[in-house]
Amino acid sequence: MIRSLLTSLSLAAMSACCLAGTAAQAMTVQPVIVDLSTAGGRMSAVVTVENSFATALPVELKAVEADFKDGGLIASTRDADDLLIFPPQALIQPGRTQSFRVQWVGEPEIATSKHFFLTVAQLPVKLPEGQSAVQILYNFQVIVSVGAPGAKPEVRVAGTEQTKGEDGKVRLTLNLENQSNTYGYLSEGTLKISEKDASGKEVMRQTLTGAEILQQMGYGLVGPGQKRRLQTPIELPVEGGTVEAIFSPRSR
């Protein structure tokens, strides 16, 4: 009898700590974020899966549409008919890397950006008859976003909060919003943060680059017409002070 244990990685964890790819044991998927257009050279992109196991690695790629809920992206049960994935399955030999093409095949004009979860799933291996084993299978989720043609994101910081953790430290929480019909990333710009105490004295001033935002907070995806509450690891020196955060986007 064959027993299988399926292990999935959290997308929130991936986007917070990974820049190019995600690895589990000896399976690496990259990138974890894919940006497509409805026309032109960015209609398709390549996702690679590397196998550093000592045995062949069977994988399957499937995509579903994703929806925003409370500012976060959640998977639906609707198949992603507007995405073409080739090849959909592959057997990757030890030490080899397989490329998979993801292409937009939907209409060239869309009213708002579209979003998908692309799952890279390790498939179970058929064992010889009568042999018993525990198979640990890994699933990786890649976010695929398709921008609305001609649109630009309008990500901004609508407000700030101060969140006190169990360790007693006060950290910054950002209330983000995007009034555009296409998505944007907080990591595609700079973030200026300052705090004043009750007397009006400035006690903190910090500017984060896009790379620093990516490293500390993840990509910071904000969907079209969405609001998102983003907790950050940034510690504030004074509890109850006046905090200002200004986001300046860069051209995509």
pLDDT, tens digit (0-9, with 9 covering 90-100), for 65-108: 999 999 999 999 999 999 999 999 999 999 999 999 999 999 99
- Ramachandran assignment for 13, one of left (phi > 0), alpha (psi -120 to 50 degrees), beta (any other): alpha
For CA atoms 145, 139, 82, 99, the dihedral sign is positive
Which part of the chain is CATH 2.60.40.10?
3-146
Among 9-13, 192-196, 208-212, 239-243, name the one with the lowest average pLDDT. 9-13
DSSP string, 173-233: EEEEEE-SSS-EETTSEEEEEEEE-TTS-EEEEEEE-HHHHHHHH---EE-TTEEEEEEEE
CA distance 83 to 101: 10
How many beta carbons lie within 10 A of that of residue 224, not counting itself? Answer: 22
Q: Residue written as tokens 């490293």? A: 215
Cis geometry, peptide bond prior to residue 31 (ω within 30 degrees of 0): yes
Per-residue model confidence as pLDDT tens digits over 1-42? 333 333 333 333 233 233 345 555 578 999 999 999 999 999
Concatenated DSSP letters of 6-70:
EEE--HHHHHHH-SS-EEETTEEEE-SEEEE-SSGGGGEEEEEEEE-SSS-EEEEEEEEEEEEET
Alpha carbon separation from 112 to 73, 180, 191, 250 (Å, rounded): 15, 9, 26, 21
Any idea how long the chain is? 252
Name beta bridge partners: 90: 59
* Rg value, the chain, Cα: 21
State the average pLDDT over residues 223-251.
95
* pLDDT value, residue 128: 75
| pTM exceeds 0.85 for this model | yes
CATH of 3-146, one of 3.30.360.10, 1.10.10.10, 3.20.20.10, 2.60.40.10: 2.60.40.10
Q: Encoding tokens for residue 244? A: 């200002």
Assigned CATH for 155-249? 2.60.40
